[in-house]
Amino acid sequence: MNMPVLDRKPDPSAQPGRGAETHLGFIDCDVHPYVKGPNDFDPFLSKRWLAHKQTIGGRTRQGLAKTSMYPRMSPGAGMRMDSWPKNGAHPGSDLPMMQQQLLDLFDVAYGLLAPLVGGAGGERNVEFGAAMATAVNEWQLAQWCDPDPRLLGAIQVNIEWTESAIAEIEKRAGDRRFAQVNIPPRGLEPLGRRRYWPILQACAANDLPVSLHLGGTSGHASTGGGWPSFYHEEHPSYVQTMQTLVTSLVCEGVFEQIPNLKIVLVEGGFAWLPALCWRLDQHWKRLKQEVPHLKRSPSEYVHDHVWVTTQPIEEPERPEDMLATLDWIGPDRVMFSTDYPHWDQDDPRYAFKIPLPDDWKRKIYRDNARALYRLD
């Protein structure tokens, strides 16, 4: 069964499926804002870094720097057909259109921004990367959060320069226009390594969840066996990134060391999580001597510290398997997301093909995000 692709504006008068009354007023945990043009960040750069950008430019760790993430995404940068503004700007760059197609249409309570622009996290020159992170953060406030307070920013950092990342986190901490810290999942090393602990500690100390949105430009191949030939291979391989993240954070003892750390896995699916935890638990029983810093089973750490977003929702052949998967993860650890304005985004009215219990729907569509991000 294929998920519906929104290549046209949804009809608010359409008859929703069972339980779709919950779709109004939801909290969207994955909204992508884009720039109208390459100079949108210039007002937020110092003279030094503006000159650097204009003369030298960025040096991403991605090998094919002039293309979309390899293999190239679908034509139109993977966007909804109807999300292109009439003026030819990039989808997701027009706030009135975002309001019309998402925020106002569904009376969205909050939309959590997930900028995939600026290249701060994948920049080889970490000083320039830090400057771009600051510029993207200021851009979020000026272009999105201040004009529409329903939109909440994600603090961008370059995790390969620890001091600058911590400074940016502490600078934004307490600003309720930001809801979380965004860290690219593909760094130079797995995120659980000790070199990244001070950054994760700063997030936890400031009660800021860490958003790990799939993708990133580490310079490494997207799979453990090298670069795939097709985007059809690339897209499922994102799950491997998420599995590596969870395994690294658990096995390195991050959650034992930072007990109040909150991790959100965005746009990486979630049906794989139970099987990964079963395997981790099985091997932990035999390998406890190697990881004495783990005081509990891996699945316990995951249950306590990891949240997932819904899009893309895997669709098993037996719909009841979806309920079992959500039950294992915990309906209090799942949060709804649309992935607007991407081509495979989810319409909240039709996202789940099987009726959910009413209390689960309230948690997934609203309550879990409201509690995690303190949105009262």
All structural domains of the chain with their residue ranges = 25-372
What is the per-residue pLDDT across 278-328, written as a single tens digit (0 to 9) for each? Answer: 999 999 999 999 999 999 999 999 999 999 999 999 888 998 999 999 999
Q: Could you tell me the pLDDT band of residue 354, with boundaries at 50, 70 and 90?
A: confident
Mean pLDDT in the chain? Answer: 88
What is the per-residue pLDDT across 248-282, written as a single tens digit (0 to 9) for each? Answer: 999 999 999 999 999 999 999 999 999 999 999 99
Distance CA 317, CA 320 (A): 9
Answer yes or no: is pLDDT of 1 > 60: no
Phi, psi of 290, rounded to the nearest 5 degrees: -75, -30
Which amino acid is located at 335 in the chain?
M
88 or 210, higher pLDDT: 210
pLDDT on residue 188: 87
Answer yes or no: is pLDDT of 187 > 70: yes
What is the per-residue pLDDT across 161-185, written as a single tens digit (0 to 9) for each? Answer: 999 999 999 999 999 999 999 998 8
Distance CA 207, CA 197 (A): 15
184: CB partners within 8 A, 6+ apart: 121, 122, 159, 212, 213, 215, 216, 217, 218
84 or 99, higher pLDDT: 99
Quick one: average pLDDT of 111-130?
93
> Domain spanning 25-372: which superfamily?
Metal-dependent hydrolases (3.20.20.140)
What is the per-residue pLDDT across 133-148, written as a single tens digit (0 to 9) for each? Answer: 999 999 999 999 999 9
pLDDT on residue 68: 52
Where are the strands (E) in the chain, listed by range? Answer: 27-31, 110-113, 151-156, 178-182, 210-213, 263-266, 306-309, 334-335
Report strand pairing: 178-182 vs 151-156: parallel
Distance CA 281, CA 298 (A): 6
pLDDT on residue 8: 33
Scored b (16 or more CB within 10 A) or e, 329-348 reads bbbbbbbbbbbbbbbbbbbb
CA angle 120, 121, 127 (to 5 degrees): 55
Answer yes or no: is pLDDT of 19 > 50: no
pLDDT on residue 115: 95
Among 32-41, 73-82, 233-242, which stretch is predicted with the lowest mean pLDDT? 73-82
